[in-house]
Structure 1
Amino acid sequence: MVFSVSRRPQIRNARSHSSPWNRSVGCSIRPGTVVQWFSWVLTRHTAFDWAPELGRRTPAMQAIQDYYVARGAVVRGDVVLSSGANIWFATVVRGDLARVTLGPRVNVQDACVVHTDYDQPLEIEEGVVVGHAAVVHGKRVGRDSLIGIGARLLTGCEIGEECLIAAGALVTEGRRIPPRSVVMGVPGKIVREITLEELERTRSICAHYLEMAQRYARGAYPPPWMRKPAEIT
């Protein structure tokens, strides 16, 4: 699905469907109107180019058109979100200079930056996990790869399939990382081949975040044991 600029996002009055949890996260656009179909907070200071209709709460990801964008995340420009893609709090995905494509089940965790340069489309392939506060400014990230917390992928670099880029590692401009490589350090160096256990962990993290996205989308998070008594119905 490709998103374009829309200055009048469709917003529905959902007052009768709101819950204490909706109100506690401040999902409102004006007094008395709760927009439970949106995952981010809208305030008088919020600027956005488009806002997708996320659908009603149901147990399935189809309720949010197969993707999840957490409140506070920003997705702008020529961005393609595939089935199961999930983008978390405070992350920015910008397709203003070239297209950014997130493949099926791509997990982009909190406070990441996903961007690219002029005429250099970026594709993040199926099952990729991008850890908290990582910067992805490259050209391609191959399927089932893990980009560790705080890692940085600079302009034009390409990451092969089933790679592990360690936390804090720096992949320099234009570099190509072969499939199944483990990269560590600044600047990043290939230290060895990924193990089966590490690859399975990447897939487990990806599945975990997909399940979490489903929970958030249908309002089932936080779970009952984390809520205040007044919020439990």
Structure 2
Amino acid sequence: MSCYAIDGIAPVVDPTAFVHETASLIGDVIVGPGCYVGPFASLRGDFGRIIVGEASNVQDNAVMHAFPGADAVLEPHSHIGHAAVLHGCRVGSFAMVGIGSIVLDGAVIGAGALVGAGSLVTSGFRIGERMLAHGSPAREVRELGADELAWKENGVATYRALAERSIASLRVVRPLAEPEPGRRRMPTGADTARPLGERRRRG
């Protein structure tokens, strides 16, 4: 990982967390146990503190930052989608911020909530526990069902397992010139996780 101290304050990464080598951690960043921080994620603790709670994931190209004196906080088991931007906000345990969403200063995403992909959560807006919210600006739509909550929890577990797999086996290699005969698939088959829409269609 690219890890930088500023003003004498260095990031903290638990030994059981995985932070990709292309991710950037600056200053007052604390990454807890079992976390996954994906390629090209940027966690900038050069103004406020960035906290990534236990077993949370911050996926590829996501950004976390905060104004001076403020914090950006992921409570344990948070799930942050690809290219999401979080600025000075708080995300509750088992909440999910969907792909490409923006969550602004002072916003609070309640435990177990889901922010739909591409949404804008405006400054100071609060999303209740286990609520679905989406849109620009985001608004609460309804309470999540048991199957949706289970789907989100499985996603958190899948990324925690990815952190473990990455620590154990991710290596820099030269690419092969062509696929080898009988090329293996990843051990994460379709039974590991499916898109929520597909789960709904299958009932």
SS in 2 for 1:218: helix
- Cα deviation digits, residues 189-229 of structure 1 (max 9, x gap): 1110111111111111111111112112122579xxx9966
Contact in 1 for aligned 2:120/2:135 (Cα 8 Å): yes
- Per residue, is there more strand in 1 or in 2? 2
Q: Tell me, what secondary structure is at the counterpart of 1:97?
A: strand
Asked if residue 161 in structure 1 is aligned to residue 161 in structure 2, the reply is: no
* 1:141 equivalent in alignment to 2:91: yes
The match for 2:32 is 82
Partner residue of 2:19 out of 69, 72, 75: 69
| Offset of residue 131 of structure 1 | 0.5
Q: Distance in 1 between matches of 2:74 and 2:166?
A: 23
1:195-206 matches, cutoff 5 A: 195-206=145-156
Partner-residue secondary structure (3-state), 2:132: strand
| Counterpart check, 1:180 vs 2:144 | no
In structure 2, the residue corresponding to 1:100 is in which secondary structure?
A: strand
Aligned-partner SS, 1:216: helix
Q: How many residues align?
A: 173
The answer as to whether partners of 2:11 and 2:27 remain within 8 angstroms in 1 is no
What code does the residue aligned with 1:114 have? M
Q: CA deviation at 1:51?
A: 8.2
AA aligned to 1:140 is R
Match of 1:209 in 2: 159
SS for the counterpart of 1:119 is coil
Contact 2:11–2:29 (8 Å) recurs in 1 = no
- Deviation, 1:148, is 0.3
Larger Rg: 1
Q: Distance in 1 between matches of 2:64 and 2:150?
A: 24
CA distance in structure 1 between the aligned counterparts of 2:101 and 2:161, rounded to whole angstroms: 24
| AA matched with 2:67 | D
The answer (yes or no) to whether the contact 1:181–1:190 under 8 Å persists in 2 is yes
SS at match of 2:70: coil
Is the CA contact (8 Å cut-off) linking 1:172 and 1:188 kept in structure 2? Answer: yes
CA distance in 1 between counterparts of 2:138 and 2:34 reads: 30
Structure 2: gaps spanning 5 or more residues: 181-203
Q: CA–CA distance in 1 between the matches of 2:72 and 2:103?
A: 11
Q: Which residue of 1 aligns with 2:59?
A: 109
> Following the alignment from structure 2 to structure 1, what is the Cα–Cα distance between the partners of residues 74 and 20?
19
Q: TM-score, normalised by structure 2?
A: 0.77
Q: Which residue of 2 aligns with 1:152?
A: 102
Indicate yes or no: 2:97 matched with 1:122. Answer: no
* Contact 2:119–2:135 under 8 Å retained in 1: yes
Q: What is the SS of the residue equivalent to 2:169?
A: coil
CA contact (8 A) 1:73 1:92 kept: yes
CA deviation profile, 1:173-202 (whole Å, cap 9, x unmatched): 111112111111111011101111111111
Q: Distance in 2 between matches of 1:196 and 1:213?
A: 26
Unmatched segments (≥5 aa) in structure 1: 7-48, 55-63
**For the residues of structure 2 that align with 1:213 and 1:221, how far apart are their CA atoms?**
13
CA contact (8 A) 1:215 1:221 kept: no
Q: Is the contact made by 2:10 and 2:29 (CA closer than 8 Å) also made in structure 1?
A: no
Normalized against structure 1, the TM-score is what? 0.68
- 1:54-65 alignment to 2 at 5 Å? 65=15
